[in-house]
Amino acid sequence: MTQVAAPSQALRISPAALAQKVAQQLDRHRNGDAYPVMVVRAEPVWPHDPVLPLPGGRQVRVAPCVSPLAVWDHLVVDRGDEVLVLLTDIPESRLGPGVRSRIFRQQVITVEPWDLVVGAFGAQVSDIALEKERWAGQALLDAMPPGGWPRLATKVLSRDVALRHLAAVRLGLSRRGTDPDDLDVSTLLRWSFEPGAVEAFALLGQDERDGLARWLVEQFGRPARALFALADVGRGTDALPMGLVCDALWTVDTPDAVRAQGRVDQYFGGLNDDVIVRGFAAAAVQVVGGMLSDRDADVRRRGQAVLDRAEQLLIQFNAVASAGHSPILRTGFSKRIGDAAAALVAGLANPTDPALGAAVDRLAGHRLAEEEADRVRRVRMAQRLVRWLEVQVEPPASVADGVQRQTAEWGWVDLALNHVWAGEDVHPELQHAFRATHERAQQRRRDLDGAFANRLAAWATAGPGNDGDLLTVENLLPRVVDPLLRDGRPVLLVVLDGMSAAVAVELADELSEHWVEYDPLARGGAGRRRGITAALPTLTAVSRTSLFAGALRAGTQATERQIFDKGRWGADARIFHKGPARGGAGEVLAGDLTDALAGTARLVAVVINTVDDSLAHGREGDEAGWQLSDLGFLRSLLDRARSSGRAVVITSDHGHVLERGGKLVKANDAASARHRTGPGPAGPGEVELSGPRVVSEENRIIALWDPLRRYRPTKAGYHGGASLAEVTIPLLAYLLPNVDDVPDGWAPVEVRRPRWWEATEPVVEVTPVPIATPKPRRKAPAVAGETALFDVPEVTSAPAAAPKSGDGDLVTALLASDIFKAQHSLTPRKLDLGKVESAMRALVEAKGVLSLAVLAQRAGELPARAAGFVATLQRIFNVDNYPVLSLIDDGRTVRLDVPLLRTQFGLPQGAA
């Protein structure tokens, strides 16, 4: 008896695969009926739309048939202009000749899975390795996207290409717009934490699920092995958080950690392979770290959810105590916060202890440091205050000296104090450390304010003409703006009412991205940021009116408009206050202001009250720091100034002090929160100011110098007094980077942060260099009600400049080296050796870091050519592409690596 082979099992076919097969058959056999009946051997199941579109506009109607009678019933029905496809698993021999005679090509069309798959990818053959994956053929047909698989440029469909595309569909990457080529360990682990993702994978057929898992483990190694070990025991969604827990536990060998490791092994279903776990843990840390810093807010939120779950797992495994060293878990971040807090307190007692720097650096190196940027910034600010407390600080030798040091250093102290005051809302130890640091630093600042008040009293009495080189608010326009106007240069003058030196520090740093800061009074010397002395009392009605009038006087907005209307600063000068400057609905700037900036008006002055208003309404009472976006429409003003080529001068009329738990002082004669006019003598925290510089009745007031005292009810901040922060007005002057015709006497500002601000090692004591001032006519009186805080020296001239660093000889040796001569000769455009020498000496003297504009100025190069000049220097000095010279801060700053310079050019390592 002859044995007949059993028919092969019919395949389950997807809509995309069926449409592909039908279109292929119709294309190959075009001579028959345009709308035939086609019988396809496949599972007689069709849970999809019964109508499929074909290329060219034809449609296919699909019907499953479980018997020959069902096939015959469809043959005798009028079907219209449609291709009819009947799906059946009946052998062709059972259909009979009558049925076969009425169907396409008189035969049942057999679907070979690999033929369909290969054709779907536009290839001709599949490789042997792919065909050995017997489960993959049906899986690739089932998973085929509605538009089919992507067409490949190669003739052979390889195993890895096909399975990568299959994995991308089964993992849902295509729904998220992720390309199959982007499938990697990170994508796989992120997928595992998506809601329902692992559960959906578990619903695949056993053969396909096992086959895909094997291929993914083969591709991605240990992390995938651990992931699918968790998935096999129903815990795949915990893969990422479990990886973070493993990273914490497998990097220590304490008894508690070892016991927790045993509990985690059971969670994996007994994986019990330390090598796999360590690789998995490292990958999880990398992946979650990327999620936490991703630009997409949804991804960042999922990263935070991973951390939440990891903390729950730590509790479940009784492993919280073993995770304090983790570089990514919240437990680790909290531990580092505590370490930094303890180091701050210890640093107050022993400032030279390097433990503080190490603790803060470890905190900043945690993966949550970016997420917790405000907390880390406040710790860093407290660290800076501790370092400042270590530095010897001399009292201000004069008003000029105090104002300049407030601008160059003490304003940075105020900024740090503001951030530390903002405080910590979670960690008690850090709260204590902030409080102790703030109290110590604040007391030192109060001491400086008291000494400054002594000098201010003498200076106010002396009157105008005894200012030395000091810039005062009433001579700002005559000395800085008027020369520009006479030179025909248009100017935008912005008065940020109430801006202090601390506010200016952050604002200037942000503006440096697009503008170059200049010192308008450098007169051939090195540029520095300058401070201006406010009029007394330090009120808007006095100081701002004096600024616009060019003389000491009091007034209102109407007075200021009258000054401009009468042509004091040119017939076309315009001034805009808060109301007239702001546009209507849909506008940022008023039309008149926009026209003035774009037009021929040489001077456009704009008053922005954002800072001053915040003192009354509480903005700066709770938040530390100011950004450009916080300052009203300043950004829009600067954009307009850029497009019209204006020089920009940003200043204020006075500074301010902030409410920091101060004391209310009862005074019936209080004229503001910080000064009074009665006849009584100065009391604690007060100073009597009299003389021609005081714009008040009888040219006399009593002002508070102590920032912790006030005469009126609590607000966010105050002004009107005699502290350094109120009297000092910052001056910021800007030109665009591509300006060739720099005004006479202007030089780029070399903004040097105080050494204690950025130092990573203990700061040496530095005696400040006082600014030359005239010898006072009489000894400054002590502040009433207070003991003398400092012995104030009389200064008649600045001391001789410090000798140049011995590293100056390094440049001589450099220029004489054979390597330099060879490199210099290879440049297409030979740089003047004098410019090269000047640039290198400037960098060496600046400890290797200078702004692009300052370096160009020191080398005698035009600002507009600064970038090209530095690029040529890099071609000379970056031998073999080693970064001896590099650009940092988005190309705004040049950095010289002196040790690398010595190595590359064969210069003695220790010699100057």
What does the DSSP assignment read for 157-195?
E-HHHHHHHHHHHHTTTGGGT--GGG-SHHHHHHHHTST
Instruction: Please give the DSSP secondary-structure letter assigned to residue 694.
Output: B
Q: How many CB atoms lie within 10 A of CB 803?
A: 7
Supply the pLDDT for residue 469.
74
Give me the pLDDT at residue 781, please.
43
Q: Is 703 helix (H, G, I), strand (E, B) or coil?
A: strand
Angle 211-215-220 (CA atoms, 0-180°, nearest 5)? Answer: 145
Question: Residue 239: is it exposed, middle or buried by C-beta count within 10 angstroms (0-12/13-18/19+)?
Answer: buried
pLDDT of 801 reads: 36
For residue 753, what pLDDT is reported? 87
Q: Residue 20, Cα to own-chain centre: how many angstroms?
A: 50
User: What token pair was written down for 570?
Assistant: 């040119």
CA-closest candidate to residue 168, choices 139, 196, 210: 139
> pLDDT tens for residues 776-825?
334 444 444 444 444 333 333 333 333 344 445 889 999 999 898 888 88
| CB neighbour list of residue 240: distance below 8 Å, 6 or more residues apart | 189, 190, 192, 193, 284, 287, 288, 306
Can you tell me which residue has the tokens 């939120």?
301
With a CB cutoff of 8 Å and minimum separation 6, the contacts of 791 are none
pLDDT given at position 757: 93
Half-sphere exposure in the Cβ direction for 64 (13 Å, CA): 16
- Taking a C-beta distance cutoff of 8 angstroms, is the pair 271, 261 a contact? no
265 close to 271: Cβ distance less than 8 angstroms: yes
Structure tokens at 226: 């651990």
| E strand or H helix at 88 | strand 83-88
**Of 85, 184, 206, the residue nearest 139 (C-alpha):** 206
Q: What span, in angstroms and rounded, lies between the C-alpha atoms of 701 and 686?
A: 10
CA-based nearest residue to 816, from 833, 801, 830, 829: 833
CA neighbours within 13 Å on the CB side: how many for 437? Answer: 39
For tokens 């009593």, the residue is 702
The pLDDT, as a whole number, for residue 447 is 97
| Residue 769, burial from CB neighbour count under 10 angstroms (0-12, 13-18, 19+) | middle
Identify the pLDDT of residue 793. Answer: 36
Structure tokens, 857: 């100025």
Q: CA nearest 852: which of 892, 884, 895, 896?
A: 892
Give the three-state DSSP class for 717: strand
Encode pLDDT of 582-630 as tens digits: 666 666 788 889 898 998 899 999 999 989 888 877 654 456 788 888 8
Question: Phi and psi at residue 580, in whole multiples of 5°?
Answer: -65, -20
Residue from 139, 145, 146, 132 nearest 113 by CA: 139
Parts of the chain with a pLDDT under 70:
1-9, 463-468, 582-587, 618-623, 759-808, 910-912
Q: Which two tokens stand for residue 302?
A: 């999922």
625-667, pLDDT tens digit by residue? 888 888 888 999 999 999 899 999 999 999 999 999 899 999 9
| Phi/psi at 767 (5° precision) | -90, 120
Whether residue 319 contacts residue 245, with contact meaning beta carbons closer than 8 Å, is answered with yes
CB within 8 A of 262, min separation 6: which ones?
none
DSSP-derived 3-state class of residue 110? strand
